[in-house]
Structure 1
C-alpha cells in the first residue's frame, strides 16, 4: 500500500535543492539492473576539498515524505568509497525502488540536494519524460502513456494533493496529458498520474522544476542576461551559471568531455565496460535528470539516432561544410572550419585561450587581456570589451605577434555591480567572434571581533588571532598589530598563522596595549580594513628577591613571632606571604603581610604540639617571588616560650 504525505513538508524537500547551484554533485541510477536486490544508487561529489573533517558527509537516502511504501524487508545501508562517493543498497522488492531519492552534498551555504524519481517498470502508466525544467511563465505539459490499460478515470496529484481528474476516454493516442499554463516557481514539485482505485505503485511519477525567471534571464528581478548555455545546459536563475548536462563542461557548456566522462571538469568515469549506457544522471536544479550524452530511452540504453547527440539525444547536429555528427559531442569539423555547426571559417576572427572565470577585489583597476587571430589579422580598434551593464571599453594597448593580436584593457575601479559575465569581442572584414567570461568581484575581509587574550606575563601577552569576519575569503594573510595604549608611535606588526596562538614578547610590564587584526585575501587590493582593537595589559614584573628567615619566637602554645630579611637593593613588591605547612595533617596556612616594609609578624591561632615547615615569599601584584629556605618549627603543647634562629 502507498499513501501520500502532507504538502506542508514541501519547503524542506524542494527549496533546499535550489541552494548552491554550482556544486559538483551527481546522483546516478543504473537502470540496466532490474533485480531490486542488485539495484543501487550512487552519489558522486567532484567538489575540491570535499571530505575535510569540518565538512558534513555526503547523504543518500530514500525521501518518503511524498511517496511512501511499506518499510523494506531489511534496512537500506550506505557504502562509502572515500569522502567523494556513497552508494545506497539493500533493496529487496520492486516497491522499495518506487519513489523519490535524494543526495545531499557540499558545505555551508553550498549545501545542495539532488533528487531522483524512480518509476516502476510494471506500472499502469509511465511518464514519457520524468524531469521537466521550464521557465517562469511557460506552459508545461506532462504526458503519461498507457502501459496497462484500465477503464477508470485518471487522478492527477501535485505533491500528494489532488489536482485534476481525466476521464479514461480522454486518452489521446494512448496518452494522458496534463497542461499547466503560466507556471510559477511554487508549481514545482512531484506530480503523479494514477488510475482510480489502482495501487499508487502503478502511477506515473514526474518532477517539475520551474526556474524563477523567464527564458534567458536570471538574478533579482530577472534583469540579467544568461550567458547562452550550449548543448542543453540550463541557466541557473540565482547566479547565472550554466548547469551543464552530463558529458559537457565549460562556462557555457561549450566543451564536450571524452566519451564515458562526466562531472563539471569531466573528472569522473562511468563505471564498468558499458560506459554510460543505462545510467540516469541527476544534477543540481534547475537541470534535473537525464540520460548521459549519446543515450536516450526510459532506461537510457538506446543510442542516438543519426544526426542527434547529447543528453537524451535531444540535440540535432545540423553540421555544415563537411562536418560529421558524433552522438556524444556533436559536430566534428574538417580542417579550416570550427563552431558548433562547423559554420565558422578559420578565416573568421577567433578569440583565443581566455579564462572562463576570473576574480578581482573591489576597488582595484585590473588590466584584462583578450587575444584573437584571423585572416585578415585583428588590429587596434577591432577588439572591444563589454561589461555586464553594456559599457564598452576600448583597448589601451595592443601587442601584435605572428599568430595573434593581444589587446589590453584598463578597467576602471571595480564595484560589486561589475560582477557577472563580461564579453570580449573582435570584428574584422572576415567576420566577428566573441567570448564570454565571468568576473567575480570580491570584498576584502574585515574582522568583526577583536583578538582574545589567553594569558599574560610581565613582558608577554598570549593572543588568539582567530576572529570572525565580513567580506570574502579565503584568508591568505593575518597581521597582528599592537602598540601601547594612548601612544602615538607607529604600530608594531607581525604576520601570524590564524590557526595558532601568538606570543607578543619584549613588552613593558604593567602596561596596556591595543591589539587588532587585519585580514587579507588573495590578489591585488585584497587587504581588508582593521578590525576592532582589544586592550590587553601586561602583568606586574615578577619579584626576584629571595627573603631569608632571621628568627622565630614561640610566644605561647598557639602563637609564633617570625622575623625575616631581604638583600639591600631597591624593593619592588607589594607585601609578603608566610606559609606554614602541617605535614602530619596535610594542612597549609597562609598569612598575607600587605606592608612591604614589614620584617616581622605575629602568627596566632596555631595548633599546639604541631611541627610546622615555615617559609616566606615576596609578592608583587599576583606574582610570587622565590621562597626563603624553609625552617622547621615545633610548637610545644604548653610551657615556656622558645627562641629559634636560622644559621
Structure 2
C-alpha cells in the first residue's frame, strides 16, 4: 500500500527552485472535477482530471491517481484508486478515475491526480469525497481552506449533523491523532501558521471512524505571507487577484476561481464554464447553472470549491442574494444596488453602476491608484504597479517613497510635512515626518534635509533643529526664514549623499488686508490734520482676517518716505489726528490695515492729500482769519 502524505491541490514547494532554473516553463494547467463529491457511497462516484491543453496534447500526458492520506484505520480501508483512463468520448476529453465503491467505502477520502507533460512542470491536485450521510462536516461547508505563512487565528471547525455530542469528537491530522484537540468542535492552530500545519484535518465520532462518516478538510498554507510570492525570501508582490482568485506563491500570478479567467481573474465566464481560460463547458447547451453538483479542485494554493453561482458540500445550493462566485464567497457590496449576477458578479437591479471609488466587471477593483477594503488609501506607486489589497508596489515608487528594506516595496518614505500658516516674510517652523513599513531594519541612519531647490540643496535661511522618533517613525524639525507665498520646499530623505525620497511642500501664507479707499479729511489747522477711514471689510476687500488695528501714515507730498507719528503700534480707532505739522504745507496721508501675527501689516491705502493753513497774525481782523481758515479747509485732494 502506498499513499501520498503530501496534501491538497498541491504544486510542491520545490517548484520554486524549478522555476528559478526553468523560468519560462509553466505548470500543467489542470482541473480536478469531482462528480457527486458528497455521495461517496454512490457507486457512480468518480473524478475527472481535465488538462487545459488541446486534446491531442492532453492525451500524451502522464497522469497518475493517488489517495492523499489514510482516512480510516488500516490498509484494507484505504484502497488506492484505479489508474486514470483516457476518456476520448464526449465534448471534452479527459482522464477519468472511477472510484468503485462496492459497498466498502473505498470512494471515501482524499484522492488526486498528478499530471506531467513535456516542457511543463508537474502538477498534483487533490479533492475530498465524503458520504451524504456524514455525521460530521466542516462547519463552513467548505472542504478546503487556504491561509498564508505567518497568518494568526487560523482554525478548522466541524459541526455535527444530528445529535452527536461534541465530547465524542476525535481529531486527526494526516492520520495522526491529536488527543489534546479531541472533545472540541474546533482545532485552533496556536501562533503564526507554518507550512507544516498544512494537511488533511479529520474529525469523527469516537469509535466510528470505520463508518467513514467523519468530516474532512484540507488546509493549504502558502509558503509566503499574504500578497507575497517567491519563497524563501518572498520579496515578490502578488498581482491583484479578483473574484476569489488566489496568488500562486511560486510565480506571483493568479489562480482564478472556477468560472473566471484573465490575468487578474477579472472576467466572469458564466455558470457553465471552467478551465484555465474557461475553455471547457459542463454542458454542451452552454446554459448557466450546468456546473452545479461538481466539486472543482485546482492547483495549490487554490484548493477546492463549487463552481461560480453555487455553494454547499454538494454544490447544489444557489448563492444567496447579494453574493456570487465560487462557493458564493464574493459579495455584491460594491454595486450601488447591492445586487449582482450570481455567476459573474456584474451589477444588477435598479442600477448597474459600481459604488463611487470602485470599477471593474464585478466592481472589485479600486478606481485609480488606491487600495484597501474601501479603497480609502493611496498607493505609493501608479495603479499598474500597486497591489490594491495591501498597497504594496512591485516597482516605480512615487517620489516621496523608496525601496530601502526589501521586501518593503515603496513603504518607506516621507509621509507628511507640516508648517503653521503665517504672514509673509516671517520665520516658519517646518516638520518632515518619515516612516517605514514592516522590516527589522530602521531609518535612523537616513539624513533629513530641507532645501529650497530640488537638486542643489540650497538651504540658505533654513536651519535644522532636531531629529527625533524611533526605528519606525522619525520627525525632523526645521526653521525657514522669510517665507513667501507659493514658495516650494523639498523634504528629503538622503543616504550617502544620494536622494532617496522627496516630499514637496508649497508654502501658503496669509494674504495681508488691503484698504481700497483713501482716508477722508477731517479738521485742518495750521499744525494738525485729522483723517478717518472705514473699517476693513472681509466681504468687499482683499486679505485674510482677523484685522486687529490700523497704522496711519503721513509724509510731505514732495517726498517719498512715509512716517508714523506718536505711535509704534497699530491703533484700533478709525480716525487719527496728525500734530506738529508745518503751516501751509502740502501733506499726503494713508492708512494700512493690520492683521494678527508678526509682520501682519498690509499695503497702504490710496493717498489723501491736504494742505495745512497758514499762521495768521493775532492782530488781524477776525473775519480775515476765518476766511483764510475756510479756504485752507477746502485745499484737500484725494489720490
Q: Please give the TM-score of this superposition, normalised by the length of structure 1.
A: 0.48
Q: Please give the TM-score of this superposition, normalised by the length of structure 2.
A: 0.48
